[in-house]
Amino acid sequence: MGTRYGRRVEAVLVVGGPGTRLRPLTVHHPKHLLPVAGVPFLAHQITKLAAAGIDRVVLATSYRASEFEQTFGSGQELGVELVYGIEEEPLGTAGAIRNVASLLRGRRADPVVALNGDILSGHDLTAQLARHRACSADVTLHLVEAEDPRPFGRVPTDATGLVTAFLEKSPDALGSQINAGCYVLNRSVIDEIPIGRSVSIERETFPGLLAKGRRVMAYTESAYWLDLGTPKSLVQASCDLVRGIAQSPAYDQPPAESRILPGAVVAPSASISRGSTIGRGAEIEAEAVVQGSVVMDSATIGKGASIVDSVVGPAARVGAGTHVHDAVIGDGATIGEACELANGVRVWCGATLGDGAVRFSTDV
């Protein structure tokens, strides 16, 4: 477990959430394994940990737990040893970390990196670990500025960078600095989390540490950062990686307007742009237009159809001349010809819409 930090460092990835805001894409798969730039999302985070010298990563799984090991196995291909912990019942973000504590090998004073498993972040993890050590902190949180902080945890700090409060999903105007979902925790902090019940790290553990006067330090860095909790942010992360706006050790392609995965068939007159990804075995027919979108494995896009700012799930079919703008099509759904889907509409997995079945009176 050697790291550039110079001490033992292990990581826990908290990946048990059901991904409700991403439905129907998460009906059959955890959000952490959805393809982002053609790679199961978690591979971006695991290789980032490996690049920081962390070589042992514990996954705290719950929702659709078995898929993680089926996807990543021992972790060898990603350059780490992967260890899988499973919660029978979801235990919350701190309960999940406590539940896998017995799988960690570090000693009481050793730091552990814990991450939300849905964050694409370019921040310097080695610098965050160095700040943790330099400040003799109990916990060091990566913080970022958010344009709209309301869906996140707000984390005000004092002039020395010490955290003064932790306000999860608060509507109050308390600054725009938010919890970016990557923590360095001393092992002793993990051992203090209650066992056997659901515990939220944001609503219980962090406020509790502050109330006890423990040293909770901020590491603020404004590198690329995105939470993949919604279809819009999933698509944005994917397109940003393809276009080189975001970087990941798991994505080694040069910046481009599109990524066509092996086995996809794209007609020469089709146009794929704005960072779109076309999955393995997908078929894009003549004159179709795909912009700023993710078309997953084995999906079919018919002649002259347009897919803009959207996700087309695996094995879904979009008929000729259909327009899909700002919409999500679930796994295996079939959309007939000459339909118009827009304004955030979501078509459920396996649903069938006939030719011209959905239209909007306004232009889409």
Strand partners, 86: 61
Q: Are the C-beta atoms of 138 and 186 separated by less than 8 Å?
A: yes
Task: Give least dist CB 176 to ligand GDD, A.
Answer: 12
- 4/169 with CB nearer ligand GDD: 169
DSSP state of 27: S
Tokens of 60: 């705290």
207 binds ligand GDD (CB under 6 A): no
Q: In what order do the strands lie in the sheet with 294-295?
A: 258-260, 276-278, 294-295, 311-312, 328-329, 346-347
- 165/351 with CB nearer ligand GDD: 165
261 binds ligand GDD (CB under 6 A): no
202 binds Mg ion (CB under 5 A): no
Query: What is the x/- site pattern for ligand GDD, positions 92-131, by CB under 6 A?
Result: xx--x-------------------xxxx------------
The full length of the chain comes to 364
38 binds Mg ion (CB under 5 A): no
Query: What is the x/- site pattern for ligand GDD, positions 212-251, by CB under 6 A?
Result: ---------------x-x----------------------
CA distance 277 to 40: 13
DSSP state of 292: S
177 binds ligand GDD (CB under 6 A): no
Q: Which of residues 203-242 bind Mg ion (CB under 5 A)?
A: 227, 229
- 30/332 with CB nearer ligand GDD: 30
**Among the candidate windows 85-93, 211-219, 286-294, 356-364, which touches ligand GDD by CB under 6 A?**
85-93
Binding test (CB under 5 A) with Mg ion, winner from 118, 204, 285, 340 = 118
- DSSP H helical ranges for the chain: 41-51, 66-72, 92-99, 125-134, 187-191, 206-211, 231-242
Task: Give least dist CB 149 to ligand GDD, A.
Answer: 8
The entry of ligand GDD, Mg ion, none that residue 189 binds, CB within 5 to 8 Å by partner kind: none
The beta strand positions in 215-345, using DSSP E, are 216-220, 225-227, 258-260, 265-266, 271-273, 276-278, 283-284, 289-291, 294-295, 300-301, 306-308, 311-312, 317-318, 323-325, 328-329, 334-335, 340-341
Binding residues vs ligand GDD (CB under 6 A)? 14-17, 60, 62, 87, 90-93, 96, 116-119, 152-153, 168, 178-181, 202, 227, 229
